[in-house]
Amino acid sequence: MSEQQLFKVTIDNITIEVPAGTTILNAARKIGGDVAPPAMCYYSKLEGSGGKCRTCLVEVSKGSEKDPRPMPKLVASCRTTIMDGMEVKNITSEKVLDARAGVVEFLLINHPLDCPICDQAGECHLQDLSYEHGSESTRYEFQRRTFKKHDLGPHIQLHMTRCILCYRCVFTADQLTQKREHGVLDRGDHAEIATFIEKSLDNDFIGNVIDVCPVGALTDKTFRFKNRVWFLKPMDAHRDCPTCSGRVTLWNRGDEVYRVTARKDEWGEIEDTPEGKPGWICNTCRFEKKKTSDWIIEGPRNINRHSVIAQGHYAGKIGTNKPTETFAAVNDGRKPHLLMDIHSVSQVNKPEVKLSLIDGPAHSDAFKKNND
């Protein structure tokens, strides 16, 4: 084959030409915006992912130029490849929106809805999805399922009740690390992510399961309960890491590094490095480098303004400027007569309590020590 064949596909009345073999989802993502169906389990950087959550269902109203019959049922766009002249309806189809609302209801049936506690809140795909497609209340009247707690080691916290069984973490562990130690055990309603014999996951790249998790099932223990993501300032930074690309997003509060994650693109997936490889980051970068001096900061990250994380977040030059005391500058060098240092009154954000350097979540003793 000298030249890749281009197929014409129309998604929500927008026509685009994509190479043969592209899935509908990826074609829609090329158009971008609302046309791209939401995806909870599909992850373009992971081979074999997709086809499990059914949130990306679309209607194919015309199969192809040669066979214009519509597909009888809604199809999962992450697993269906396009045909020449295919016509796809996503948000323009009543059927799709109705089906998606149903899928969201199913995904939320056993979800504990503990967003106020969950560290993923604010960057959770399930939250976004249910805001867009979900209903206000539940019709489910039974006890939500619960699980025996599994300890996944010192860095990763598993909340099985929040899991939607997208298998992304299983694929990550399979494809990124030499040996996978966790998988999905049991069947049906009882299916759960667990390590085989409660083994801790200690692979150099296992921290990436936190980034691929679309919900708050796998979260960073070193960041657990430290702060809410929308009060943190995402900064692009890099360091010379021998094992990984070292290109990360720091989640700062002031100059404290609260959390380190990989850089994510507009679909919530790991960004590629300039060499074109997925920018997975290693555990050392993610869990152990919690000092500003470890990193070379590039500048504030651009955040979509519709995200709650964009509140109080300034990109560009303004974002890197530090506030200074302006009183003397505008009053010919005079100092204010009365100046209240907020730290002399406030118990919050004490300079001597470095939350970011505490290993796990803070407990009452972390605050008692400095109680005055």
Partner 1 sequence: MQALTNRVKEVNRKPMSFMEKLYLPAIFKGMAITFSHIFKKKPTIQYPEQKREFSPVFRGLHVLNRDEEGRERCTACGLCAVACPAEAITMEAAERLPGEEHLYREEKYAARYEINMLRCIFCGLCEEACPKDAVYLSETFAPANYTRKGFVYGKEDLLIPNPKTDPQGLAEARGQHI
Q: Which residue ranges make up the site for partner 1 (CB under 8 A)?
A: 114-117, 121, 224-228, 230-231, 308, 311, 340, 342, 344-349, 355, 360-364, 366-367
Quote the least distance from Cβ 188 to partner 1, whole Å: 28
Q: Are 58 and 40 in contact (CB under 8 A)?
A: no
Quote the least distance from Cβ 118 to partner 1, whole Å: 9
Quote the least distance from Cβ 362 to partner 1, whole Å: 5
Quote the least distance from Cβ 231 to partner 1, whole Å: 6
Quote the least distance from Cβ 336 to partner 1, whole Å: 13
CA angle at residue 267 from 264 to 268, to 5 degrees? Answer: 40
Q: Are 147 and 255 in contact (CB under 8 A)?
A: no
Residue number with CB closer to partner 1 (144 or 199): 144
Residue number with CB closer to partner 1 (22 or 356): 356
Residue number with CB closer to partner 1 (320 or 347): 347
Quote the least distance from Cβ 55 to partner 1, whole Å: 24
Residue number with CB closer to partner 1 (106 or 231): 231
- Name which of 233, 231, 356 is nearest 300 in CA terms: 233
Quote the least distance from Cβ 313 to partner 1, whole Å: 12
Question: Residue 155 and residue 359: Cα distance in Å, rounded?
Answer: 9
Residue number with CB closer to partner 1 (69 or 228): 228
Residue number with CB closer to partner 1 (44 or 130): 130
Question: Residue 256 and residue 156: Cα distance in Å, rounded?
Answer: 21
Give the number of other Cβ atoms within 10 Å of residue 360's Cβ.
15
* Whole-number Cα distances in Å, 27 to 121, 213, 249, 263: 29, 23, 28, 23
Quote the least distance from Cβ 148 to partner 1, whole Å: 16
Question: Residue 153 and residue 167: Cα distance in Å, rounded?
Answer: 19
Residue number with CB closer to partner 1 (16 or 308): 308
Question: Residue 29 and residue 25: Cα distance in Å, rounded?
Answer: 6
Residue number with CB closer to partner 1 (329 or 342): 342
Q: Please give the backbone phi and psi of residue 340, each rounded to the nearest 5 degrees, phi first.
A: -95, 120
Q: What is the largest CA-CA distance in the chain?
A: 83
Quote the least distance from Cβ 214 to partner 1, whole Å: 20
Residue number with CB closer to partner 1 (116 or 276): 116
Token representation of residue 337: 């007569």
Q: Please give the backbone phi and psi of residue 182, each rounded to the nearest 5 degrees, phi first.
A: -130, 155
